[in-house]
C-alpha cells in the first residue's frame, strides 16, 4: 500500500491534573482540581479537573466554590505554570524524535504532519513514547485534515486512537449537534438551532445565501463548510507564537469605587507590558475585560495609533478602554490584554 499523507492530533489527557498527580502519586484515583491558588474559598475558576472530579460535573471554567460544593472531598491545588511548561516541552521533544512535522498548539496538544501507510500503528508508537518519557497518557486523532483530526481526538479520549476522514464523516457526525464542530460554540449553536439548523447534517444542507444573510457573508458559508468536514491540511513546524498576552484578577471583595478599578487596571497593564517586553514584539491593540456581579462579563478594546511595547502607552490605552464601561455596578474581575499585530499588519 502506498504511503498517504495524514494529519494527526495529539492531545494529552487531563494534562494539568496528570502533571500534578505525577508529582504526587498518592493522589492517583482521587478527584483533583487545579485552579487559582488552590483555595476553594477564594474567587477563582477551575483550570482543569481530573476525570475522577469530572464525574461530579466539574469542568474547566467553573468557580472553585461551586466545585467544592459538588465535590467536597476533592484535592484542590494551585496552578503551577512553570511545571506545566517544562513537562510540555518534554512531550513535544519526544514527538519531534519521530520523522514527522510537529505544530505545537499549546501546553497539551499538537498537530502532526505524517506520511505513512499505517497511521494507527504510528499513533500507538507515539502514545507509548510519550508515556515512557513523561508518564503521561495522550489520545490521538487521525484525519485527512486538521478539523477531522481534532474532532477525532474527542472520540479517542481517554487514552485512545480514532480515525475520522471523509469516508466516515457522515456516519460519525451527521446527527450530532452543531457545537460538536470545532469552531462552533454553544452560543452560535443556539443561534443556528433557532434558524432550524440543529444538527451537522442540517447545517451542511443549508442554503449558503441564507446562511450569509443570517450570519454574515464570511461566517455563514464558513459554518456550512465546517459541517461538511472541510479544513486545512497544512502542518508547519513554525514555533507557537502567542497572539496576545493578558493578565486578570478576581477580587475577593467586589470593587465599587471606579478609582480602585482604575488602579487595578494600571497594575494589570504594567504586568502585561512586562510580558510584551519579554515577548519582544509590539502590541497593536489593548483590551479590557470587566466581570460585573454576579457573572456578567464584557470586553472592549482599542487599536493603538502605532504598535508599541511602551508600558506607559499600554497603561494609558487600558485606562481609555476602562472609561468606555459604565462602572455603576460592583465588579468582581478585571483583565487587561495586549494583542499583537496580525501577519498582514504593520509591526507584525
* Ranges of each domain in the chain: 1-167, 173-227, 244-339
ω before 294 within 30° of 0 (cis)? yes
What separation in angstroms does the CA of 187 have from each of 61, 190, 223? 16, 5, 13
Residues 154-177 have pLDDT tens digits of 999 999 999 999 999 999 999 999
Residues 182-238 have pLDDT tens digits of 999 989 999 999 999 999 999 999 999 999 999 999 999 999 999 999 999 999 987
- Tell me which fold the domain 173-227 belongs to: DNA polymerase; domain 1 (1.10.150)
- On the question of pLDDT at 89 being above 70, the answer is yes
The CATH code of domain 244-339 reads: 3.30.1490.100
Task: Quote the mean pLDDT of the chain.
Answer: 93
- Tell me which fold the domain 1-167 belongs to: Alpha-Beta Plaits (3.30.70)
Crossing angle for the helix pair 81-95 and 119-134, nearest 10 degrees?
Answer: 140
Question: Which triple of cell numbers denotes residue 21?
Answer: 498527580
Residues 291-301 have pLDDT tens digits of 999 888 899 99
- On the question of pLDDT at 137 being above 80, the answer is yes
User: What contacts 279, CB < 8 A, 6 or more positions away?
Assistant: 242, 245, 340
> For this structure, is 326 an active site residue?
no
- On the question of pLDDT at 340 being above 60, the answer is yes
Give the global pTM: 0.77
Catalytic residue selected from 20, 109, 202, 315: 109
Region 267-282: mean pLDDT is 93
Output the pLDDT for position 343: 58
Question: Which triple of cell numbers denotes residue 58?
Answer: 466539574
Region 110-123: mean pLDDT is 96
Region 91-117: mean pLDDT is 94
Amino acid at each position: 500500500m502506498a504511503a498517504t499523507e495524514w494529519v494527526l492530533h495529539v492531545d494529552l489527557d487531563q494534562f494539568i491534573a496528570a502533571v500534578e498527580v505525577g508529582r504526587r502519586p498518592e493522589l492517583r484515583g482521587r478527584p483533583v482540581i487545579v485552579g487559582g491558588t488552590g483555595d476553594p474559598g477564594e474567587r477563582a475558576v477551575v483550570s482543569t479537573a481530573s476525570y475522577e472530579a469530572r464525574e461530579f460535573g466539574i469542568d474547566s471554567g467553573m468557580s472553585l466554590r461551586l466545585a467544592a460544593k459538588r465535590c467536597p472531598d476533592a484535592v484542590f491545588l494551585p496552578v503551577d505554570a512553570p511545571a506545566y511548561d517544562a513537562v510540555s516541552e518534554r512531550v513535544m521533544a519526544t514527538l519531534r524524535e519521530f520523522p514527522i512535522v510537529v505544530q505545537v498548539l499549546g501546553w497539551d496538544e499538537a498537530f502532526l504532519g505524517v506520511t505513512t501507510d499505517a497511521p494507527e500503528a504510528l499513533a500507538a508508537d507515539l502514545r507509548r513514547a510519550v508515556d515512557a518519557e513523561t508518564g503521561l497518557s495522550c489520545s490521538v486523532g487521525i484525519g485527512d485534515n486538521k478539523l477531522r483530526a481534532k474532532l477525532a481526538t474527542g472520540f479517542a479520549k481517554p487514552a485512545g486512537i480514532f480515525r475520522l476522514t471523509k469516508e466516515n464523516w457522515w456516519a460519525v457526525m451527521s446527527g450530532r449537534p452543531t457545537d460538536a464542530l470545532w469552531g462552533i460554540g454553544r452560543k452560535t449553536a443556539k443561534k443556528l438551532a433557532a434558524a432550524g439548523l440543529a444538527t451537522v447534517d442540517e447545517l451542511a444542507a443549508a442554503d449558503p445565501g441564507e446562511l450569509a444573510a443570517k450570519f454574515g457573508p464570511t461566517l455563514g458559508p464558513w459554518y456550512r463548510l465546517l459541517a461538511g468536514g472541510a479544513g486545512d491540511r497544512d502542518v508547519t513546524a513554525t514555533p507557537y507564537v502567542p497572539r496576545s498576552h493578558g493578565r486578570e484578577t478576581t477580587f475577593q471583595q467586589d470593587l465599587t469605587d471606579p478609582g480602585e478599578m482604575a488602579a487595578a487596571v494600571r497594575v494589570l497593564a504594567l504586568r502585561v507590558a512586562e510580558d510584551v517586553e519579554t515577548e519582544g514584539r509590539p502590541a497593536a491593540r489593548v483590551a479590557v475585560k470587566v466581570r460585573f456581579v454576579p457573572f456578567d462579563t464584557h470586553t472592549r478594546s482599542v487599536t493603538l495609533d502605532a504598535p508599541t511595547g511602551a508600558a506607559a502607552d499600554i497603561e494609558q490605552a487600558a485606562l481609555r478602554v476602562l472609561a468606555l464601561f459604565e462602572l455603576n455596578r460592583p465588579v468582581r474581575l478585571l483583565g487587561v490584554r495586549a494583542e499583537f499585530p496580525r501577519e498582514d499588519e504593520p509591526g507584525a
